[in-house]
Chains A and B, each alone.
Chain A
Amino acid sequence: MMNKYLLRLYVTGNSTKSQRAIANLFRICHEELSEEYRIEIVDVLEEPERAEKEKVLVTPTLIKQLPPPLQRIIGDLSNTDKVLLGLDLLLKEDSR
């Protein structure tokens, strides 16, 4: 059950939005996903070709690589409910 979630976050260097997104993501994952996740941070200034490959347009962009389906969440992730919805966590909670 390890790494059930694979989350990739595309950020731009040390911009405030990017820093906020990183902090928010770690907080949400810590609170909601316990140990079952892996987060990868991609700085598009360092690795622009990866942004090209994934056709990432805006930063911050969070891509839920696993579990399927693929889902993109854009923004600094300050709206926790939206993030949970995108990670299919809110629905689970409701159906519980």
Chain B
Amino acid sequence: MNAYDLPNKEGHFGPYGGIFVSETLISALEDLRKQYEFYRDDPEFKAEFAYELKHYVGRPSPIYHAKRWSEHLGGAQILLKREDLNHTGAHKINNTIGQALLARRMGKKRVIAETGAGQHGVASATVAARYGMECVVYMGSEDVKRQATNVYRMKLLGATVVPVESGSKTLKDALNEAMRDWVTNVENTFYIIGTVAGPHPYPMMVRDFQAVIGNEAKVQMLEDFNRQPDALIACVGGGSNAIGLYYPYIDDANVRLIGVEAAGKGIDTNQHAATLSTGKPGVLHGNRTYLIQDENGQIIETHSISAGLDYPGVGPEHAWLKDCGRAEYVAITDDEALEAFHTLCRFEGIMPALESSHALAYAAKYAPTLPKDKLLLVNLSGRGDKDMATVAQMSGLTL
């Protein structure tokens, strides 16, 4: 078998990915691709990225053996890759640092970003402050209401938060608006996309920046456990934390790759965000991928308790990994995720993000079916402090 080398030079992962944008953006994307392909191999760029990840983010993030929880479940051992311990509390910062360093080298003094729950917005505002750049974050007006704390965090960091009133007023509309800003201000502006979606080179570039997760895990597993895990489990909205963990393992055929989507109120209802489990291929936000859409090709509003998974598309590389059978995708409901959230709090003293709780919930189902010597590595992609209001509300409390 040939080593995995996707995307090809047109940005395709099998039939997925590509550059599906208006002519007005083509030259900006071409410029970005060229610059990225130069700097990713530039020793000085690589050294600065590594330095920032170590000293600013606090990497490497440890792998933690959740012994008490594993014992309680009575099957495979559950290991957690602690991305929740990163500065700003999630994996998002790995990517925003990479893109901000590139933006500086391209001479762009203004960065823009889209955000749903606010995590990527906070990570973008953080690096903009760190490097002294202007930052504008687009956020659906519905999300602005739901995520007031993160809106304030971004403002404290000096960013301008623009509520987006069009369409469903959520993440997908924020992405549309950020694209519109970029096409208008492309000369001085760098668009920091927060996940492995969008037109080429974004899915490749974001994956490469997030691959630090999997690269560290490979070394740490050998050091701490003398072997690689039997399966990797990660939540998938756009899919950047999952790809970051999977990518270095794609050629290791005996490591299962399991992506966990948001089943919301159930995948047989119309209130979920399980794109790969229920969607059909189409074109949105610059790439061909699976989409949640109606029979006329209009994009449908999605639902998840976790805003970070509440997106009607998915990264094109996941679409390909699904079709070629390398990765498998399952779905976890709001209720199951919420239960996993509480369980991890009580058994391990770790409060996970609701996004990551989907991966945990699947691990809790899967582990008991396996013998005790199997190892499941779950990407704990973010911490749950941001979700306390949501969890309290679901439990009938107001804070």
A and B together in one complex: no
Q: B interface vs A, CB < 8 Å?
A: none
